[in-house]
Amino acid sequence: MSLDKIEFLCQKAQQAISQRDWDKAKVVYLQALGLKSDIPDIHYGLATVYFQLRELTSAAHHFKEVTRLDSHRAGAYINLGAVMNLLSEPEEAIAALRRGIQLDPQRVEGFYNLGLVYRRKGQIDLAVQSYREAIRINPRMADAHLNLANLHFEKQQYRSAVTHYQHALQIRPAWDKALAGLDQAKEALDAEHKGFQPEPEASGSHRTFEDPDRVLDPNLHHDFLNALHQATIASEELGKEFEQLLEKDVEPAIKELSSCLLYPDGARTQLEQCVDQFETALKHMKTVQASLQASLGRVRKCRDDFPD
């Protein structure tokens, strides 16, 4: 057996791949495999060729051989995950993709393919998180922006959908899919705005400030103006506290929990801590939200008590 012969065959196979002659590349790689069956690169090349030939079961087999022979090759796990998704084996796909991401957390295609699997399973929120991670690593990944926009559209989050369709078009101008999606999202957003009407008030239930003859006099309405001012200040301060809470507590808690769910390291304690942190942040948010609603209620009461 000659390693030089194997190297020659691998180079010949690569040349055939460069010419997109997949059948020839397959034959040559099989010849090399017949000479020595435990070289990961031969299995990797053969798996790639089988994938191009849409012989997915064979592609999966050889990607698995790569992971068996070289358990730290992130790309093999990620490609295996993509193939298993196409073979309608989502759990195997997720396991392979998570392993690939653990080995290489900056591998953008790992998160992208994870998004595809979660979308196929109907786990939309996890798919959204996966695509966001892909975009975080590579902000110019047009396909990730498009898929994320489609998910936002499905969730009726039309403003976010418009944003990501636009990002996709900035990266890939005149892209038909993104253009069509953008038009649909803009139409839905416009219809949403036109369809919004404030709830009708019961006759005489609230007073308005639209009557020009009803003028506030600081001397006559001092107590009313002071109460309105205090209620407004309190609402503003609580609004700022709510915004800071979302930024400093809730968002980090969500990211930590998402990280544990997307690629857990097997430590149950860590997941429980993430869940506890998230629950604590939500409780704090609900407390501040309740205070803000009460403060806004006082503002509304001032409006209702507007003096004659």
CATH number at 70 reads 1.25.40.10
| Site of tokens 């890939």 | 172
Same domain flag for 138 and 46 = yes
H runs (alpha helix) in the chain: 3-18, 22-35, 40-52, 56-69, 74-86, 90-103, 108-121, 124-137, 142-154, 158-171, 176-195, 222-245, 251-262, 268-304
The reported pTM is 0.63
Confidence of residue 245 (pLDDT cuts 50, 70, 90): low
Q: Residue 254: its pLDDT value, please? A: 72
Q: Residue 220: its pLDDT value, please? A: 47
Higher pLDDT, 126 or 285: 126
Same domain flag for 12 and 156 = yes
Same domain flag for 30 and 120 = yes
Same domain flag for 49 and 158 = yes
Higher pLDDT, 302 or 62: 62
User: Domain for residue 213, yes or no?
Assistant: no
Q: Residue 289: its pLDDT value, please? A: 73
Same domain flag for 47 and 155 = yes
**CB of 93 within 8 A of CB of 84?**
yes
- 250-284 pLDDT, tens digit per residue, is 677 676 666 666 665 555 556 677 677 767 777 77
User: Domain for residue 204, yes or no?
Assistant: no
Asked if the model's pLDDT at residue 11 lies above 60, the reply is yes
- 187-226 pLDDT, tens digit per residue, is 998 888 876 544 444 444 443 333 333 444 454 455 656 6
Same domain flag for 112 and 173 = yes
Same domain flag for 34 and 162 = yes
Q: Residue 294: CA atoms inside 13 Å, Cβ hemisphere, count? A: 7
**CB of 213 within 8 A of CB of 200?**
no
Report the alpha-carbon angle 184-187-193, nearest 5.
Answer: 140
- Domain containing residue 66: 3-191
Q: Residue 294: its pLDDT value, please? A: 73
- 52-101 pLDDT, tens digit per residue, is 999 999 999 999 999 999 999 999 999 999 999 999 999 999 999 999 99
Same domain flag for 175 and 230 = no
Same domain flag for 139 and 242 = no
Cα separation, 23 vs 37, whole angstroms: 20
Q: Residue 290: its pLDDT value, please? A: 73
User: Domain for residue 295, yes or no?
Assistant: yes
How many structural domains comprise the chain? 2
| Site of tokens 């006099």 | 217
CB atoms near residue 85 (< 10 Å): 23
Same domain flag for 24 and 131 = yes
> Nearest CA to 170 among 156, 182, 158, 155?
182
What are the backbone angles phi and psi of residue 252, rounded to the nearest 5°? -60, -35
